[in-house]
């Protein structure tokens, strides 16, 4: 492992030397950046920015889903799969100049698990021994996070978890210096201090955020850029014009739908577009705790009412229809599963059987960034065909997220703009944070408020398959779990979207990092300016 990692670092360093360092790139976003606190940030805009400022024990080889040690030099796993020992690299320094040590890892994980932090990712780490007592206020520390010396961290689990290394590459586990957090207090998210490739230089709320190169970053030669500028409050159509004028280099919100056909027909503009697959599912959440959506037959009827092919045409065919929770390419995806067909007549029949022969009224929330209002209108029209009157509430993304995390508030949410994109490439990530009983909590992302304890137990059993050779059996176990989820129909899966990233001619970087499957939307540390 150590020799392999050394070879990777050397190859990255050589690649870095092949680029011309320096320069700056500008990224546009419509919505403001809410926070850069890795324990809290969970939005499209801040996900990759946080990855650029901070880091964790694990990461992924750029442009791939292959796990590699990051701030950890190496790791070992016990035979029973319940103990992970990480050896930290020496000499890694936070942006304030202090060396990172094992105590920082323990502090960061405990801070994230502390209910006062209100981390949306805390549920990922509930399996660490002692986490429950700590979050309940019964202990002053998490006893399963042990630091035998300044460069060793041992994490004990209550039970084996085949996805645990992925979780140590998640933003929520990223390492922060205690003194910087205590100095900034509740405003740490606007005064972030990490040990990543970039550090914060300037932040004018509602206008721009500027990152500058971290000269002490442990991967020598990276990042290539001197700075990154994020312009917020940019209408996507205006940002598109700015890109053509050379004022913007990356469209963070993608190509405006109204411009997509023209871009793809123009040979010169098409050269500036990188296309990639992504592990995502766009869906409508159906709140299982709100009448009449608490009736499975009603939810099944709604699944049959939506014309997904028509919705995909709204986004210029940039997706494939979804019939299940998992996206293609994810272990456990079932290519033979047919799901609920588009059948309005059958939908009306199910509504009648459920006691709603004349339909009912409800509310559908959606992000107000185009094309989401148009997609929501198409869903509204389809529902009207079976007698369901859905009032549309198209609002800012943060408002929709808040509504979804408030029990009983949002009967239906079109997830566009916030569609579930993998946190890590494992089927458990499409279950525990969005469909499990543990995620049906205020502020969580289980907007369906769905809870099936029997499926939770089956998912726990699947996650205990940690030994080599059990990968196929584990994938089949999750395949069966998601088939049961679809019987309960807490979602209407709509589509699996492809990624179309448009950039200016001066943006350098491989296609793989421009549509990086993990550093979404872009792996900023790997970009450079073409000379």
What is the model's pLDDT at position 4? 43
Q: What is the edge-to-edge ordering of all strands in the sheet holding 72-77?
A: 72-77, 83-88, 152-156, 145-149
Q: Degrees (nearest 5) of the Cα angle 128, 130, 132? A: 90
- Single pTM value for the model: 0.80
What is the model's pLDDT at position 11? 47
**Beta pairing class for 83-88 and 58-60:** unpaired
Provide the strand spans (E) within 63-112: 67-69, 72-77, 83-88
- Identify whether the C-beta of residue 210 lies closer than 8 Å to the C-beta of residue 202: yes
Nearest CA-CA partner of 258 in 241, 273, 274, 271: 241
Tokens 């014309």 sit at which residue? Answer: 307
What is the model's pLDDT at position 15? 46
Angstrom distance (rounded) from CA 480 to CA 172: 29
Residue 159, helix vs strand vs coil: coil
- Identify whether the C-beta of residue 35 lies closer than 8 Å to the C-beta of residue 121: no
Angstrom distance (rounded) from CA 528 to CA 531: 9
DSSP state of 337: -
Angstrom distance (rounded) from CA 190 to CA 180: 12
- Identify whether the C-beta of residue 219 lies closer than 8 Å to the C-beta of residue 17: no
Angstrom distance (rounded) from CA 193 to CA 104: 13
**434-440 long-range Cβ contacts below 8 angstroms, 24+ apart:** 435/325, 435/485, 435/490, 436/123, 438/123, 438/126, 439/123
Angstrom distance (rounded) from CA 238 to CA 406: 34
Angstrom distance (rounded) from CA 438 to CA 223: 38
- Identify whether the C-beta of residue 404 lies closer than 8 Å to the C-beta of residue 261: no
Nearest CA-CA partner of 142 in 114, 164, 166: 114
DSSP state of 103: H
pLDDT in tens, the chain (531 residues): 444 445 455 444 444 445 778 999 999 999 899 999 999 998 878 999 999 999 999 999 999 888 999 999 999 999 888 999 999 999 999 999 999 999 999 999 999 999 999 998 898 899 999 999 999 999 999 999 999 999 999 999 999 999 999 999 999 999 999 999 999 999 999 999 999 999 999 999 999 999 999 999 999 999 999 999 999 999 999 999 999 999 999 999 999 988 999 999 999 999 999 998 889 999 999 999 999 999 999 999 999 999 999 999 999 899 999 999 999 989 899 999 999 999 999 999 999 999 999 999 999 999 998 899 999 999 999 999 999 999 999 999 889 999 999 999 999 999 987 789 888 999 999 999 899 998 999 988 999 999 999 999 999 999 999 877 898 999 999 999 999 999 999 999 999 998 899 999 999 999 999 999 888 889 999 999 998
Residues 6+ away with beta carbon under 8 Å from 423? 124, 166, 170, 429, 433
What is the model's pLDDT at position 443? 87
What is the model's pLDDT at position 531? 85
């Amino acid at each position: 492992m150590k020799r392999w990692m050394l070879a990777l670092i050397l190859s990255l360093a050589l690649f870095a030397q092949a680029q011309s360092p320096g320069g700056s790139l500008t990224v546009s976003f419509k919505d403001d950046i809410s926070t850069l606190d890795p324990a809290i940030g969970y939005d499209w805009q801040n996900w990759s920015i946080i990855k650029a400022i901070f880091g964790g024990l694990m990461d992924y080889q750029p442009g791939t889903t292959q796990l590699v040690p990051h701030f950890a030099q190496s790791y070992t796993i016990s035979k029973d799969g319940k103990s992970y020992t990480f050896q930290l690299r020496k000499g890694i320094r936070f942006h304030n100049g202090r060396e990172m040590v094992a105590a920082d890892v323990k502090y960061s994980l405990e801070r994230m698990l502390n209910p006062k932090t209100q981390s949306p990712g805390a549920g990922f780490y509930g399996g660490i021994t002692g986490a429950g007592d700590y979050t309940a206020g019964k202990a002053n520390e998490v006893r399963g996070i042990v630091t035998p010396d300044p460069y060793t961290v041992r994490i004990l689990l209550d039970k084996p978890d085949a996805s645990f290394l992925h979780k140590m590459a998640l933003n929520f586990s990223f390492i922060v210096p205690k003194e910087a957090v205590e100095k900034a207090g509740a405003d740490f998210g606007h005064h972030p201090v990490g040990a990543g490739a970039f550090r914060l230089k300037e932040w004018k709320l509602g206008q721009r955020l500027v990152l500058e190169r971290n000269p002490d970053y442990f991967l020598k030669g990276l990042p290539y850029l001197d700075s990154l500028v994020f312009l917020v409050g940019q209408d996507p159509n205006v940002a598109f014009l700015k890109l053509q004028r050379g004022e913007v280099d990356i469209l963070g919100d993608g190509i405006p739908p109204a411009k997509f056909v023209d871009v793809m027909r123009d040979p010169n503009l098409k050269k500036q577009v990188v296309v990639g697959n992504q592990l995502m599912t766009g869906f409508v959440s159906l709140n299982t705790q709100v009448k009449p959506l608490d009736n499975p037959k009603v939810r099944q009827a709604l699944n049959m009412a939506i014309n997904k092919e028509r919705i995909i045409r709204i986004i210029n065919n940039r997706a494939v229809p979804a019939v299940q929770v998992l996206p293609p390419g994810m272990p456990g995806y079932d290519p033979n599963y047919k799901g609920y067909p588009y059948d309005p007549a059958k939908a009306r029949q199910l509504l009648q059987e459920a006691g709603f022969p004349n339909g009912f009224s409800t509310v559908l929330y959606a992000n107000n960034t185009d094309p989401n209002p148009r997609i929501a209108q198409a869903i509204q029209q389809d529902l009207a065909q079976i007698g369901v009157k859905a009032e549309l509430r198209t609002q800012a993304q943060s408002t929709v997220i808040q509504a979804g995390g408030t029990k009983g508030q949002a009967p239906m949410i079109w997830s566009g703009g916030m569609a579930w994109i993998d946190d890590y490439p494992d089927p458990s990530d499409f279950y525990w944070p969005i469909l499990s009983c543990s995620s049906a909590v205020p502020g969580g992302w289980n907007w369906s408020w769905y809870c099936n304890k029997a499926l939770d137990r089956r998912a726990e059993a699947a996650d205990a398959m940690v030994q080599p050779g059990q990968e196929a059996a584990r994938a089949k176990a999750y395949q069966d779990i998601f088939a049961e989820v679809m019987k309960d129909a807490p979602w209407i899966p709509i589509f699996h979207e492809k990624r179309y990233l448009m950039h200016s001619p001066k943006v350098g970087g491989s296609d793989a990092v421009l549509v990086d499957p993990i550093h979404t939307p872009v792996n900023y540390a790997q970009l450079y300016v073409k000379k």
